[in-house]
């Protein structure tokens, strides 16, 4: 088991954003999270990688009870891909990709550059090593951000709406890359509104509403046989 989440709640001030979440995630699962805006999906992901501390309960990652002090310990083991890419604007593509593995002594500088070049070729960005993020399209930026995460050989990658800022053509390129990555022996937790993609990639789907996990099932059950009225309404509103 890679994650064990026990009676986890998160509040901001007096407002509960996540309420009593209990969940276990096994290695290599591809978990998709769907749910309305404000239901707590991003907050949930942030609690899984120490960007936020929980208010009560606990999150265990490989048996380590997480809190912000362990940021260094989990760095590289838990990758995160954001809607807004979060590349370093003052660094080239190659520098963005090679920074973390070199700093953390996962690879030598030369090795990192060579692995980065191999990945860039795979994602059709050969020749753009020295470009800055501002000279890339949104889809290219997101593909670079995904490669940057892969360079650390993470156990798990958390994706928070990786294609929400992209137009349809670029969305497809990025979804194809994520699908390719999903074939690796890697755990993935993906917040997305792309229902067809979710059906395709997920081994398990969580439906969140108002800070709770309302349904937790295989894609077939979630999308074809939703149990709760809330999930039925949510899916209808997306058709
Ligand atoms: N730092 C914060 N301080 C106070 N409230 C916050 C903070 N971050 C999130 N919230 C609130 O927590 C709730 C859940 O937010 P969250 O971003 O997790 O939702 P979400 O499901 O990711 O929504 P979306 O689909 O719009 O991205 C919202 O009501 C939001 O306003
Ligand atoms: Mg969000």
208 has a pLDDT exceeding 80: yes
**Closest residue to atom 1 of ligand 1, CA basis:** 12
**Mode of pairing for the β-strands spanning 187-191 and 212-217:** unpaired
Q: Contact at 8 Å (CB) between 182 and 157?
A: no
CATH number at residue 32: 3.40.50.300
The answer to whether residue 148 is domain-embedded is no
State how many domains the chain has.
1
The answer to whether residue 130 is domain-embedded is no
**Closest residue to atom 6 of ligand 1, CA basis:** 12
Residues of the domain holding 172: 3-88+154-237
Residue 75: the pLDDT is 84
Our answer on whether the CB atom of 10 is closer than 6 Å to any ligand 1 atom is no
Report residue 77's pLDDT band, with 50, 70 and 90 as the boundaries: very high
Residue 143: the pLDDT is 96
Residue 170: the pLDDT is 92
How many A from CA of 39 to the centre of ligand 2?
A: 8
Closest-lying ligand 1 atom to the alpha carbon of residue 208: 21
Q: For residue 52, which ligand has an atom nearest its CA?
A: 1
The answer to whether residue 120 is domain-embedded is no
173 has a pLDDT exceeding 90: yes
Residues 106-164: tens digit of each pLDDT: 999 999 999 999 999 999 999 999 999 999 999 999 999 999 999 999 999 999 999 99
How many A from CA of 26 to the centre of ligand 1?
A: 26
Residues in the chain: 239
Q: Contact at 8 Å (CB) between 54 and 23?
A: no
Residues 18-67: tens digit of each pLDDT: 999 999 999 999 999 999 999 999 999 999 999 999 999 999 999 999 99
Q: Can you tell me the distance from the alpha carbon of 170 to that of 231, in angstroms, rounded to the nearest whole number? A: 28
The answer to whether residue 20 is domain-embedded is yes
238 has a pLDDT exceeding 90: no
How many A from CA of 20 to the centre of ligand 2?
A: 19
Residue 153: the pLDDT is 94
Residue 71: the pLDDT is 83
The answer to whether residue 67 is domain-embedded is yes
The answer to whether residue 121 is domain-embedded is no
What's the chain look like in SS3? Answer: CCEEEEEEEEEECCEEEEEEEEEEECCCCEEEEECCCCCCHHHHHHHHCCCCCCCEEEEEECCEECCHHHHHHHECCEEEECCCCCCCCCCCHHHHHHHHHHHCCCCCHHHHHHHHHHHHHHCCCCCCCCCCHHHCCHHHHHHHHHHHHHCCCCCEEEEECCCCCCCHHHHHHHHHHHHHHHCCCCEEEEECCCHHHHHHHCCEEEEEECCEEEEEECHHHHHHCCCCHHHHHHHHHCC
Q: Can you tell me the distance from the alpha carbon of 137 to that of 143, in angstroms, rounded to the nearest whole number? A: 10
How many A from CA of 64 to the centre of ligand 2?
A: 25
Residue 80: the pLDDT is 96
Q: What is the pTM of this model?
A: 0.96
The answer to whether residue 25 is domain-embedded is yes
Residue 239: the pLDDT is 72
Contact partners, residue 142, CB within 8 Å, separation at least 6? 81, 85, 162, 163, 166, 170, 174
Report residue 210's pLDDT band, with 50, 70 and 90 as the boundaries: very high
The answer to whether residue 47 is domain-embedded is yes
Our answer on whether the CB atom of 37 is closer than 6 Å to any ligand 1 atom is yes
């Amino acid at each position: 088991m890679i994650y064990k989440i026990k009676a986890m709640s998160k509040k901001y001030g007096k407002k509960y954003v996540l309420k009593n979440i209990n969940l276990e995630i096994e290695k290599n699962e591809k978990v998709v999270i769907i749910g309305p805006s404000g239901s707590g999906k991003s907050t949930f992901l942030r609690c899984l990688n120490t960007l936020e501390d929980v208010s009560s309960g606990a999150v265990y990652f490989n048996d380590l009870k997480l809190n912000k002090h362990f940021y260094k310990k989990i760095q590289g083991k838990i990758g995160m891909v954001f809607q807004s890419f979060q590349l370093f604007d003052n660094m080239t593509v190659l520098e963005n990709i090679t920074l973390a593995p070199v700093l953390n002594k996962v690879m030598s500088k030369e090795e990192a550059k060579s692995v980065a070049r191999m990945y860039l070729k795979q994602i059709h960005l050969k020749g753009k090593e020295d470009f800055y993020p501002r000279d890339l399209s949104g889809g290219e930026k997101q593909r670079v951000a995904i490669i940057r995460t892969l360079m650390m050989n993470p156990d798990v990658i958390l994706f928070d709406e990786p294609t929400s800022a992209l137009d349809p053509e670029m969305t497809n390129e990025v979804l194809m890359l994520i699908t390719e990555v999903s074939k690796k022996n890697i755990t993935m937790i993906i917040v997305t509104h792309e229902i067809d993609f979710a059906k395709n990639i997920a081994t398990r789907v969580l439906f969140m509403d108002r800070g709770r996990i309302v349904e937790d099932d295989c894609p077939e059950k979630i999308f074809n046989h939703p149990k709760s009225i809330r999930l039925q309404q949510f899916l209808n509103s997306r058709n």
